[in-house]
Amino acid sequence: MAISAGDKMPSVDFKMLTADGLTDVASDDYFAGKKTALFAVPGAFTPTCSAKHVPSYLAQADALKAKGVDQIACVSVNDAFVMKAWGADTGSGDTIDMLADGNGEFARATGLTLDARGFGLGERTTRFSMIVDDGTVTALNVEENPTEMIVSSAEHMLTQL
């Protein structure tokens, strides 16, 4: 069963590549005491994800923060090295935390998976966005078609804050 508004975030570890090297990021700690705009993509460097999804959150970062968002994060079933390179390529810098879910543990724990084996990508996270307030999902927007970006955009999220 998929996660929904009102549910607590699952306890998983993400990975991030930082100046200190490969770092575990415990979801319990990451989401505690903060309002987070979280969006998930099927894959780094993929067309919609790179051309639309990340740019949407970069363009609306100030507006999201003005409405009380403390941090913006992107999660994908990719390794931390790919997520770091993709963050550099998209210019996300310190604006968007690129959280790697390399083993798909977060995707499976939320029930928001995508079978992308037909594209040679294996099991992935489907395209979605959510607002997480102190570890609790307060809004969830899952795309019917993961190649499109309608309800998971930053612009749509702004209407929910």
Catalytic residues, which ones? 49
Q: Which of 82, 141, 110 is nearest to 2 (CA)?
A: 110
CA distances in angstroms from 41 to 6, 33, 68, 75, 118, listed in the order given: 22, 24, 23, 7, 17
Tokens of 117: 């084996």
Tokens of 61: 């970062």
The DSSP annotation for 79-114 comes to: -HHHHHHHHHHHT-TTTEEEEE-TT-HHHHHHT-EE
